[in-house]
Structure 1
Amino acid sequence: MRYLENEPLAPYTSWRIGGPARFFAQVTSVSEIVQALAWANQRDLAVFVLGGGSNILIRDTGFDGLVLRIRLQNVRLEVNGDEARAMVESGAPMAGTARRLARQGWAGLEWAEGLPGTIGGALHGNAGCYGGDIATSLERAWVLVHGETQEWPVERLAFGYRTSVLKQMRADGGSWRNQPIILAAAFRLYRDDLTTLAQRMERTSHERRSKTPWGASCGSVFKNPPGDSAGRLIEAAGLKGTRIGNAEIAVRHANYIINLGGASSDDVLRLIDLARERVLAMTGIELELEIQIVG
């Protein structure tokens, strides 16, 4: 195992924002994860697990512990007639996995076309878009808990709108130490026509491109309130195009904050606070973060 010291984290995130990790390691197997956790425990270090780096804002102060970047990416199919189970390791890219399976004629994850991040990150936050989400596609997951691999049925992950029991542990102020780590997941798939699948994914890709602002961002910053959208509320508050430092509330979609180049985490956090305050004052609705703040 190679442990880097004071490794900048910004290049590993889609926002391109974030200070250094005190220690940083990339792991490609379960045994390496266990080894790294033991190394951190011996040194009394907190551990943060990093996947694709989307949906997180790392503060400019960085992370005072060990950042583990999960690179387990194997995909295995168990086929039973016109149905299949895809066993996917947590570091595999969400969109790339959906495309790979669709090219083989397997439907069930095509809603994830263009979705950033990894399988593990998608499970952590119950990622979803365009009529699908992890909760409806997942069969079970394998999770590392205190050095032991456990098989969790989908019910144990307690999925909600853009959340899970794992994400809630952090939201409730849980320690960075001894957090369960997602190792792999099993998804239910079914056989479908290749042309039909390709057309569905192209429609999803086109719609995503038409709504996604250009530039470095984390995707949606806030969860959509019931019956409404965070982007519409922020736009109605007159905040499209608002800049603080080198961060901007996107003109194309107000639930995106763009790093115009060299934005700090404080720039983004001030825009987040401004959007929350304006929307609350205007509507009485308190916007809830979809992203995770680290550091």
Structure 2
Amino acid sequence: MAESRNVTGSKDDLLADASRCMLMRFSESSCRLCFDICPHGAVSLDGGLSINPQQCRGCLLCTAVCPVGALEQSSDFSACLARLSKVPEPILGCVRTNECSNGTVACLGGLSEEHLLALCHTLTGRLTLNLSLCGDCPNNPMITRLRQRLDAISEAGLSDSRCHINFAESAQDIHYRDESVDRRSFFKSFSNALFKNAAVILSATNEQTERRTEYAGKRLPIRRKLLNSTRNKLSQELVVRIRKHFDSCVSFDDTCTRCQGCAAICPTGALQTELSDIPPTFDQLLCTCCGLCREFCMDGALRISTGNSEDGAG
């Protein structure tokens, strides 16, 4: 396994929670996003979500499309973001480019639109995505997807002129320099690193690549948490654009029987109920637009609209 990780990532770079999968929660769900996007045929949905460790190359494309957090990255993106922010013109790479990148993820294919948005509005100057070794990598189909995501962010008016993200596809385009600090900053960084490394060691001993959530448990996917954290720092104008691009609104028509089934099956807690004689209340910030509530509604009384809503939180 160690040798394969020098070539690409692996299944170990995934946190798989089959109990979160929409097909596990509702067998008639039409969701096949992870299966359709996997370039290696490593995802199986027969009898439940599973990842073939021999076929998985850790491209993390599945983590960027799963709307309910059944497949997520095992690495700490917040820690990576913190490392990048210490360098004027940082380079973000993968496990293959660790020696010439200021921050790394297992594979850049795991950078969703939410990740790219966070990078745009956290960093300043120029951020380079190190694709110099992607040409001969089995995960290179992710490059097209990554470009599409960055284009989508730009077209939605969500890219920040303070941080320009560019792609470097050859070694000549990489201008790597390590973090430079003065004496006081050095000791401060050293102290912080000790605590961070200790936290990583402690979390690593308890973290598993396979985990399970109780059916009734509600949990917000990491990508949605990242999005909500990012939007809290932005202007109202950008928040409105984020709503239009990322958010949805759930509403009910007159055929709703108040059965509350949609609230029970919602994996994130976006639909909540306290009274049985009215439809559930909707929290826009907790909705990932997975559509499971609409698929599950036996009365066809539930509607999901994309974009901003008059009563949406924000």
Query: Which TM-score band (shorter chain)?
Result: 0.3 to 0.5
TM-score (norm 1): 0.35
Look at both structures and tell me which one has the larger radius of gyration over its CA atoms: 2
TM-score (norm 2): 0.33
Higher-helix-fraction structure: 2
